[in-house]
Structure 1
Amino acid sequence: MTGMPRRHLLAALPAALAAPGVLKAQPAWPQRTVRLIVPYAAGGGTDIFARSLTDGLSQVLGQTVLVENRPGANGSIGSEVAARAEADGYLFLVDTGSHIMNSYVMPNLPYQPLRDFAPVSLLSRYPLLLTASNAVPFRDVRGLIAAAKAAPRTIGFGTSDAAISYAGNLFTRLAGIEMVEIPYRGAAPILNDLVAGHLPTGWNSTVAATQHLSAGRIRALGVTTTARTPLLPEVPTLAEAGVPGYEFAGWYAMVGPAALPAPIAARMHDALARTMGMPRVRERLAGIGADLGILGPAELAAFLREDDARWAKAARDGLITRAL
């Protein structure tokens, strides 16, 4: 058997030890505060969901985890911050389905959702809600449709991101009505205007709307999924309520900058799974209507590619249009 002479092997060893990534121990992660960028206003569904995780996640990771809100431009401002951040595992993005959809509705997006981010975890799927102010005269979906047909483009609906905008516009198309979309910077301002009677209807996640619904400050007219949500079993699906064929669901996911090391992504996913397994966290998330079906980096990557294909087809078919 032949090989490198012993003296040559010993001579080569110092250079090998100095080579990047060879026999060098990687520093433990995390060693300082971890930031979660939420690209929407405080008080919205994404913000509430992310903040529900921070205490447990801090406990699992052994470091403080903070939520940082960077709202604006349909979530793209905060997303760009995350895309451009150093890929050292100290800044992640928690976003909705708009993360993928934005490339089909926003011209000149300064990043590419699949290329410029590293998948970490799909955190939750959830139904959206068509909600209404207590000040409006209609009490159900059929009443809303009748009012909209009687007076086209006089009833507004609030939206806060591309996915929720799609949900609202899909409703008007399938119902055969004309309403006026009113974009907001987050779910919280929509809910505030619904409560105050300044906005007739709005589209919200169950996560954002639950507190106001429980207090009777607004009403839910229908859920977007094909089955009713256990959180609001008395609220019909939109298909049941008079819009056959309606189906849509939202999701929350965590991603990092594209160059995020795979071991850190795996460690964060594991920490999230452990956090969401804590009884107090599971109870809190279930109480706001969050589905706890978590997926890891590889599964999330496949999920995002499928979502991208869905929106590409929707754009080709004219079901979504680019923002001006």
Structure 2
Amino acid sequence: MKSRFAAIAIGAVSVMALAGCSATAQGDGDGGGDAFAPQDVRMIVPFAAGGGSDVSGRAIASGLEEATGSTVTVENREGGSGAVGYSHFLAQQGNGNYLLAAETALLALPLTTDVGFSYESFTPIMKLGDDYTLVVAPGDSRFDTCTDVVDAAKSDGVVAAVSGTVSLDEVVFTLIEKDQDITFDRVPFEGGSEVIAGLLGGTVEVGSLNPSEVLGQLESGDLKALCALSEERYEYAELADIPTAKEQGIDVAFAQFRGFIAPGGISEEAKQFWIDAAKEFAESEAYTAYIEENLMQANAAYGDEFADYLAENSAALEAVVGK
């Protein structure tokens, strides 16, 4: 599955080459000494404002500001299902003043698209936790369960929204297709907020969204949850009544991780600085609030442990969406 955004991503790397050289020359901002001192820190969000990645990036930036006393400015660099933002970030090689709010696209893009990076191109700092998704439909939909969706896909077809061609949505719908021997008609959007608009506007019939993105619409009745693509039912009161896909005979559960990374080639001092700041953030009320408000599963990992998780998760993804 080759993305039509491949040329954009590769072009972005080329255009940013001089910027990357500048960033490398600027280095970690430690003035040549042993101590790393962050300067003009940028948190790149490779998706549009309003979605789960944007919420994650802003929460992390705020938490790191509290932990370090530094200003962390959030930049949304959307396009190419995340490829534009990741390619811009690749050009910051060696610059410890750049961070990126990472998720499944970090692993899926290199497996499905001709981009110039993989997860090994960057420096893993922190995995905050796991974010499962819900399959949702408009409140007046003909579907009440995910079984209804599967049955319809076998007969007259179902139009499904995906927030990018290599997103978590794409992964879970592919897993459902393989498990149930069906095919969805996909309509790609750039982010979760656009998927919600497509559902409410009748452009698509079903979507896969993180609970934090869609809770308001579920509570208002504008949208309804058909199943949760999680191992077990949520313990959060707002979601506890939603059956899992497995309860409905669909053997699919897959979580998107939320975390942040630094560019490749940064100094050990810069890497340790951000890991220490991440651990301080994880002990804060702000971290607990982020996890609970976004209905996630807390499961933090740092540095090399996060890198091991990425390697294992990439191998699992390759079996599903690999080239």
TM range (shorter): 0.7 to 0.9
One-letter amino acid of the counterpart of residue 62, structure 2: D
Could you tell me how far 1:86 is from its partner in structure 2?
Answer: 4.5
- Aligned residue number for residue 64 of structure 1: 71
Larger of the two Rg values belongs to structure: 1
CA distance in 2, matches of 1:321, 1:53: 30
Point out where structure 1 has 5 or more consecutive residues left out of the alignment. Answer: 1-23
Could you tell me how far 1:292 is from its partner in structure 2?
Answer: 2.3
Point out where structure 2 has 5 or more consecutive residues left out of the alignment. Answer: 1-31
- Aligned residue number for residue 189 of structure 2: 184
Residue 311 of structure 1 pairs with residue 317 of structure 2: yes
CA distance in 2, matches of 1:176, 1:133: 25
One-letter amino acid of the counterpart of residue 283, structure 1: A
Pick which of 267-276 and 291-300 moved more: 267-276
- Aligned residue number for residue 267 of structure 1: 273
- The share of aligned pairs that are identical, in percent, is 23
CA distance in 2, matches of 1:224, 1:195: 21
1:74 is aligned, of 69, 76, 81, to 81
- Aligned residue number for residue 246 of structure 1: 252
- Residue 192 of structure 1 aligns to a residue in which SS? helix
- Aligned residue number for residue 111 of structure 2: 104
- Residue 53 of structure 2 aligns to a residue in which SS? helix
Cα distance per residue 1:15-36 (max 9 Å; x no partner): xxxxxxxxx7435422x33211
One-letter amino acid of the counterpart of residue 151, structure 1: D
- Aligned residue number for residue 321 of structure 2: 320
Any conservation in 2 of the 1:122–1:254 contact (CA below 8 Å)? yes
CA distance in 1, matches of 2:314, 2:60: 27
1:230 is aligned, of 216, 232, 235, to 235
- Aligned residue number for residue 210 of structure 1: 215
Could you tell me how far 1:180 is from its partner in structure 2?
Answer: 0.4
CA distance in 2, matches of 1:193, 1:276: 35
- Aligned residue number for residue 41 of structure 2: 34
1:156 is aligned, of 139, 156, 159, to 159
Cα distance per residue 1:92-116 (max 9 Å; x no partner): 111212211221111x2122331x1
Any conservation in 2 of the 1:224–1:248 contact (CA below 8 Å)? yes
* Matched positions, count: 288
Any conservation in 1 of the 2:36–2:273 contact (CA below 8 Å)? no
One-letter amino acid of the counterpart of residue 200, structure 2: V
2:128 is aligned, of 103, 123, 129, to 123
Any conservation in 1 of the 2:125–2:278 contact (CA below 8 Å)? no
CA RMSD of aligned residues (A): 1.9
CA distance in 1, matches of 2:221, 2:264: 43
- Aligned residue number for residue 21 of structure 2: none
Compute the TM-score of the two structures, normalised by the length of structure 1.
Answer: 0.83
Any conservation in 1 of the 2:128–2:299 contact (CA below 8 Å)? yes
- Residue 41 of structure 1 aligns to a residue in which SS? coil
One-letter amino acid of the counterpart of residue 88, structure 1: N
Cα distance per residue 1:289-316 (max 9 Å; x no partner): 122221110101111111222234x1xx
Cα distance per residue 1:138-180 (max 9 Å; x no partner): 111122223222313xx21111242320111211232233320
- Aligned residue number for residue 221 of structure 1: 226
- Residue 59 of structure 2 aligns to a residue in which SS? helix
Cα distance per residue 1:185-221 (max 9 Å; x no partner): 1111001222333321111122322333233321111
- Residue 253 of structure 2 aligns to a residue in which SS? coil
CA distance in 2, matches of 1:320, 1:55: 34
Any conservation in 2 of the 1:135–1:200 contact (CA below 8 Å)? no
Question: Structure 1 stretches (4+) deviating beyond 4 angstroms?
Answer: none
28 and 146 in structure 1: CA distance in 2 versus 1, 3 angstrom threshold = closer
